Structure 1
């Protein structure tokens, strides 16, 4: 019973005049002003991601794996003892690679010989209490970590900072558009199009630091600094006159 109505609606759509859906050929394009604005906002991070790797070598893959497994269990348990929850611990890398020896003499080349195996197990830890980050780094080495140590500072809720950067970018674009319109002797019209892009910028070097001291003088010194978020917008304005 619904098919006749559908067919009628299709006929009505096809019968609609084309000028209502598209601009007639030959019609001049309305003049516009296109500008790009940039903005930035910063905030102190409130958490960090630290990456720790246990590297072990042995004559056999089994022996290297057993050593790496034992060490990583100690590291994981140690992180939990320092306050990390299960959701804060994630295996982010694992590899087993043979180690070769190349015996080359003058005029001849011998095939490589496997002399051992290397196992890498990488753990990424989310540190929610930055005051303990130095202690965690120090303890990780004590527990057997011998590679890695990459740290990335983050905001748990970056939305407010991203919004501030975006507002700054829009204000910058609108100020530029007004300046161009005034210099050209035209009147700035309504916004016709906006495209935005927001992202976290890498920390400057050197960067303003927030020192985090702990009671334990053996802890690794850590500087958290600030995270900067950059935003850019492309805005198209109509020219009113």
Structure 2
């Protein structure tokens, strides 16, 4: 016997099959599963910058000393320009030998290749809360001795209120879709059974470049977009 009374649209059986969340055999409840999405945008108010100093030379000790001095000068310049110490964090330090890989160097079997010198790298993450000073800060860092900027990531510091509005919109989107399926199958939308969400940035400003100039750096923060996706499962009633 058909599980739907006579006169119900044939579409009902199709809509309630597999992909639309028909309950398992051990669960008599009919249900529909849908996804809902919403986006919200805001101007970024914080930037995360990775500033680096790279030094090369013949003697490892001398290169480390030179790199340490240059990195110290960069940090001192940033602090003098108003960057709080808690917004500065060392994130990388490396000493790398520069191997001579020429054919002559590798000609003798069993002889290790010669080392031409060493490269020392030190990187510092900077959190900047005043984006109007971003170009100035980059200029100060380069002037003080930084020779690479590996990335600038813009973000919105207070996302909670923005995401709460998006959560409501995403849930309403899911409920609207579920109600559409319920109506199309001749049933009524029942109570919510399951709900899960995922959030995250959708796009946003990411700037990558080598900072090798003493001129002021023009940087645009653009707009950050935050997204919320929800997966919802509703009962279907007679």
- In structure 1, the partner of 2:163 is 162
SS in structure 1 at match of 2:135? helix
Please say which of residues 147-156 and 109-118 is displaced more in the overlay: 109-118
TM-score (structure 2 length as normaliser): 0.81
Deviations 1:112-143 (A, max 9, x none): 10111111000111111110000011111111
Is the aligned partner of 1:180 residue 2:181? Answer: yes
SS in structure 1 at match of 2:204? coil
List 4+ stretches of structure 1 deviating above 6 A.
none
Distance 1:67 1:204 in 2: 34
- In structure 2, the partner of 1:42 is 41
- Structure 2 unmatched ranges of 5 or more: 1-24, 207-214
Please say which of residues 184-193 and 145-154 is displaced more in the overlay: 145-154
Is the aligned partner of 1:229 residue 2:230? Answer: no
Is the aligned partner of 1:86 residue 2:85? Answer: yes
TM-score (structure 1 length as normaliser): 0.80
Offset of residue 199 of structure 1? 1.1
- In structure 1, the partner of 2:153 is 152
- In structure 2, the partner of 1:6 is none
| Counterparts in 2 of 1:28 and 1:80: CA distance versus 1, 3 Å | closer
Distance 2:151 2:31 in 1: 48
- Structure 1 unmatched ranges of 5 or more: 1-25, 206-217
Q: CA RMSD in A?
A: 2.1
Deviations 1:68-114 (A, max 9, x none): 11101110011111110110100011101111112315x94563101
CA contact (8 A) 1:166 1:198 kept: no
SS in structure 1 at match of 2:170? helix
- In structure 2, the partner of 1:53 is 52
CA contact (8 A) 1:203 1:228 kept: yes
CA contact (8 A) 1:102 1:111 kept: no
Distance 1:61 1:204 in 2: 38
Deviations 1:5-42 (A, max 9, x none): xxxxxxxxxxxxxxxxxxxxx76521001101111111
CA contact (8 A) 2:154 2:205 kept: no
Distance 2:59 2:98 in 1: 10
CA contact (8 A) 1:89 1:126 kept: yes
Distance 1:204 1:138 in 2: 20
Offset of residue 182 of structure 1? 1.2
| Counterparts in 2 of 1:27 and 1:55: CA distance versus 1, 3 Å | closer
Offset of residue 148 of structure 1? 2.5
